[in-house]
Amino acid sequence: MVTITNVGGAPGGEAFLLETEGKTALVDSGFAYSAPRMIANIKDVLRGRPLDYVLLTHSHYDHASGSAYVRAAWPDVTVAGSAYAKKILEKPSARAVMREMNDNAARIAGADGYEDRTDRLHIDLAMAEGDEIDLGPAKLRVIEAPGHTKCCIAFWCGEEKLLLSCETLGVDAGGGVVMPCYMVGYALAMESVGKLAALGAEKILTPHRGLLEGEACAAFIENAVYWNTEFMRRAEEGMRAGKGEAELAREFKELFYTPYMAEVQPEKAFDLNLSYTIPMLVREIDQGIGNK
Q: Which is nearer to Zn ion, 20 or 65 (CB)?
A: 65
Q: Which is nearer to Zn ion, 138 or 151 (CB)?
A: 151
Q: Please state, in angstroms and rounded to a whole number, the distance separating the CA atoms of residues 92 and 163.
A: 32
Q: Please state, in angstroms and rounded to a whole number, the distance separating the CA atoms of residues 75 and 185.
A: 37
Which residue's CB atom is positioned nearest to Zn ion? 60
- Report the candidate in 149, 98, 150 with the shortest Cα–Cα distance to residue 119: 98
Task: Evaluate whether 86 touches 149 at the Cβ level (below 8 Å).
Answer: no
One residue of 18, 33, 52, 60 binding Zn ion per CB under 5 A: 60
Query: Which residues, 6 or more positions from 29, have their beta carbon under 8 angstroms from its beta carbon?
Result: 15, 35, 38, 54, 56, 63, 64, 65, 66, 67, 69, 70
Residue type, 96: A
Indicate whether 167 belongs to the interface with Zn ion (CB under 5 A).
Answer: yes
Q: Please state, in angstroms and rounded to a whole number, the distance separating the CA atoms of residues 238 and 227.
A: 16
Scanning 2-10, 52-60, 81-89, 277-285 for contacts with Zn ion by CB under 5 A, the matching segment is 52-60
Smallest separation (angstroms) from Zn ion to the CB of 207? 7
Smallest separation (angstroms) from Zn ion to the CB of 264? 11
Scanning 25-33, 59-67, 111-119, 274-282 for contacts with Zn ion by CB under 5 A, the matching segment is 59-67
Smallest separation (angstroms) from Zn ion to the CB of 191? 18
Indicate whether 150 belongs to the interface with Zn ion (CB under 5 A).
Answer: no
Scanning 28-36, 54-62, 133-141, 239-247 for contacts with Zn ion by CB under 5 A, the matching segment is 54-62
Q: Which is nearer to Zn ion, 226 or 276 (CB)?
A: 276
Q: Please state, in angstroms and rounded to a whole number, the distance separating the CA atoms of residues 25 and 4.
A: 10
Smallest separation (angstroms) from Zn ion to the CB of 203? 21
Question: Three-class SS of residue 278?
Answer: helix
Indicate whether 37 belongs to the interface with Zn ion (CB under 5 A).
Answer: no
Q: How far, in Å, are 25, 82, 115, 137, 292 from residue 57 at the CA level?
A: 13, 8, 23, 22, 31
Smallest separation (angstroms) from Zn ion to the CB of 288? 28
List contacts with Zn ion (CB under 5 A): 60, 167
